[in-house]
Structure 1
Amino acid sequence: MSKTKVLLVGSGALGIVAAYTLEYNGFAEVTVVVKSGYKKASTEGYKIDSVQFGKIDHWKPTRVVSSIHEAVANGEEYDYIFVSVKNLPDSPTPCEDIIESAMKTNPNTAVILCQNGIDIEKPLIEKYPGHVILSCVSLIGCTNIDCVVSQMTPDNVQLGIFENPTLKDRARAEQILDKFISIYRMKDGKNVVKKDSNVRQTRWQKLLYNASVNTSTALTNLDCSRAAMTGCKETIWRPVMREIYAIAKSDGYTLPLELEDTMLNISDGLFYTPSMLVDVRLNRMIEVETIVGNPLKIAEKNGIDAPHLSMIYHLLKMVQFRIKENQGLITVDDSVKVYKTADEYGKGF
């Protein structure tokens, strides 16, 4: 039986764990696009220290490439494009544009968005009507620093189909979803893979953590445990979570009450560095729009007051500005003593 062809875009810790899982099971051949650290990944491979798999040295997927263009240069087609790169609609190249060349090679390619936030599927549905767009929500603690992947908690994944008015054959979409679940679920029970019948509900639930803990640790440069020592669970995290509860309810989704304390305490004792804080420390753009901006748009539309979330959003926008300037995406002429907005500075903002 031929193996399933998977193109994995986003070689962060979560992406590498996913690639290793797919090839560990033996049902897939994975091509990983590595933008940062390509030379080391392609020559030495990855060192993995995993609660699931143990210690592995010099691991490589079937293929390592430096770009999507290279991945499809010879007309290669993929059954699935697994997208775990950060979803950055405010970047020069948003997610739907990043995967464009791979989408063109196969009209039946399914896209799996393993990314944070709400409403992340809408740009892809608009640009690629008729394609199956799957949601992947992963609850996992892992980091990737210079091709060294540390996985502190087991992979717990929920996979489902985004609501998509352009889908003409729902039954086919279900088959595509079921197939990926079957090749990702480990027979020895080392990971948890569930079929998600309510994708939007699940994404609201994960936002409880990401909109509060992920964002505030990025702003303060403190890992979860150090941040909690300051008392922020009650002064910042819980108030933000309650605003997410209210926004989700206005969107038609009632989140479980007990989830608040679960998300407040999920990182206790781990001294875990959330993904947004990792990005800030590495001077990489952050997912401010999908994690905070999109919920705030829904809050505004539905008349929900969210002052804590709004404050976090505007502080993170300032951080994003700094990162973009450091990356050369924005050029500020500070010799001219005239105030300009970010939009007037233009490029990339």
Structure 2
Amino acid sequence: MPSKYKVLLVGSGALGVVAAYTLEYNGFAEVTVVVRSGYKKASTEGYKIDSIQFGKIESWKPSRVVPNVEEAIANGEVYDYIFTSVKNLPDSPTPCEQILEPVLKANTKATVILCQNGLDIEKPFLEKFPGHVILSCVSLIGCTNIDCVVNQMTPDNVQIGVFENPTIKDKEEAERKLDEFISIYKMENGKNVVKKDVNPRLTRWQKLVYNAAINTSTALTDLDCSRAAMAGCKESIWRPIMREIYAIAKSDGYILPPDLEENMLRISDGLFYTPSMLVDVRLNRMVEVEVIVGNPLRIAQRNGVDAPHLSMTYHLLKMVQFRIMEKQKIITVDDSVREFKNPDAQDNVL
């Protein structure tokens, strides 16, 4: 065991900051954090953290803060783990695998940890970076990061497993890397929950029960969870979408626990919690519409599962995404052109 593992963490949202703090708090890792937005403040003032898990920290900085992955490897740095909690946006100009390409090409033995929402997120990595061990990390945590102020309302609860990976010949090595990371992330005092995930795809379907219904609808309505529930959405919107996820998962070979639906319907009761997608919309940032809604819908289409509520949610979020991308000048619209051509015609089949 090395004196300290070298971890590169890409994605300095609330979840990423909590993960970086946990790794350094445990004392087994030296963390370099890539901060693409808010780099100046993070690198000079650090993060103010108010955490149910760690208490109040007025100013904290990881071992190293860099503005991009290129800077993280500028001096030939070698990392044991690449932990990414950056938003997974395959419809953006720089999808996640493109962001990580420089560091993964320079660190051919690094293990990749995808701590992100959604389904089928590993597939671009399997294709682009064969031979890397790729771990799935599914987090259930209530936390926000706004302008380097992190509020953690619920304890960190993660499940970490090995994505099925035909490009890896040594399956035992993949399991060893999994056990190793769990050992450096799990806190001895039990303040976080870290479980070994023997079926990552099932776990991701389970989290989609929440994300596809609650994360999406709060973003569309600009209401936090409790206010959305007060408005009557549990039975009219959340439950129907959840049941569609159950049906699509079953068509994919995964039976979800019967009590999960009720648990997810109640999980945010009384918290007035703002889910990640709503935070992104309020901050005019792109949302994870494709990995949370688009990919399950494509599975539904292939397997002949009817999902009208999820389909409507998807197309409404695509409109929100269009608005955000136009505001960010990722796309431009020439108002003088009267003839309309659909640039995304393949989505019309959903």
Q: TM-score, normalised by structure 2?
A: 0.97
Aligned to 1:207: 208
Compute the displacement of 1:25 (Å): 0.1
Corresponding residue for residue 94 of structure 1 = 95
Secondary structure, in 3 states, of the residue corresponding to 2:19?
helix
Other-structure match for 2:307: 306
1:1-349 equivalence runs, <5 A: 1-343=2-344
Per the TM alignment, residue 339 of structure 1 is displaced from its structure 2 partner at its CA by 1.6
* Alignment deviations for residues 256-284 of structure 1 (CA, whole Å, 9 cap, x no partner): 01000000010000000000000000000
Count of equivalent residues: 344
Output the amino acid matched with 1:193. V
Cα deviation code 1:225-247 (max 9, x no counterpart): 00000110000000000000000
1:340 to partner: Cα distance: 2.6
SS in 1 for 2:137: strand
Q: Write the deviation string for residues 181-200 of structure 1: whole angstroms up to 9, x where unpaired.
A: 00000011110000000000
* Aligned counterparts of 2:178 and 2:231: Cα–Cα separation in 1: 43
Residue by residue over 1:92-134, the C-alpha shift from the partner in whole angstroms, topping out at 9 and shown as x without a partner, is 1111110011101221111000000000000000001111000
- Measure, in 1, the Cα distance between the counterparts of 2:294 and 2:264: 20
Secondary structure of 2:33's aligned partner: strand
Distance 2:104 2:241 in 1: 37
How many angstroms apart in 2 are the aligned matches of 1:343 and 1:271? 36
Letter aligned with residue 97 of structure 1: Q
SS of 2:212's equivalent in the other structure is helix
**SS class of match (1:64):** strand
Q: What residue is the counterpart of 1:347 in the other structure?
A: none
- What per-residue deviation string (whole Å, max 9, x for no partner) do you get for residues 156-206 of structure 1? 000000011111000000000000000000011110000000000000000
Structure 2 Cα separation of the partners of residues 10 and 68 of structure 1? 11
Gaps of 5+ in 1: 345-349
Name the counterpart of 2:348. Answer: none
Amino acid at match of 1:268: D
> How far apart, in 2, do the equivalents of 1:54 and 1:343 lie?
47
* Amino acid in the other structure paired with 2:317: L
Q: Unpaired runs of 5+ in structure 2? A: 346-350
TM-score, normalised with respect to structure 1? 0.98
In structure 2, C-alpha distance between the alignment counterparts of 1:313 and 1:104, rounded to whole Å: 34
**Aligned amino acid, residue 339 of structure 1:** F
Runs of 4+ residues over 4 Å off in structure 1? none
- Listed one character per residue, the Cα deviations across residues 6-53 of structure 1 (whole Å, up to 9, x for unaligned) are 000000000000000000000000000001111000000000000000
Distance, in Å, in 2 between the alignment partners of 1:164 and 1:251 is: 18
Distance 1:312 1:184 in 2: 36
Instruction: Please tell me the residue identity of whatever aligns with 1:255.
Output: L
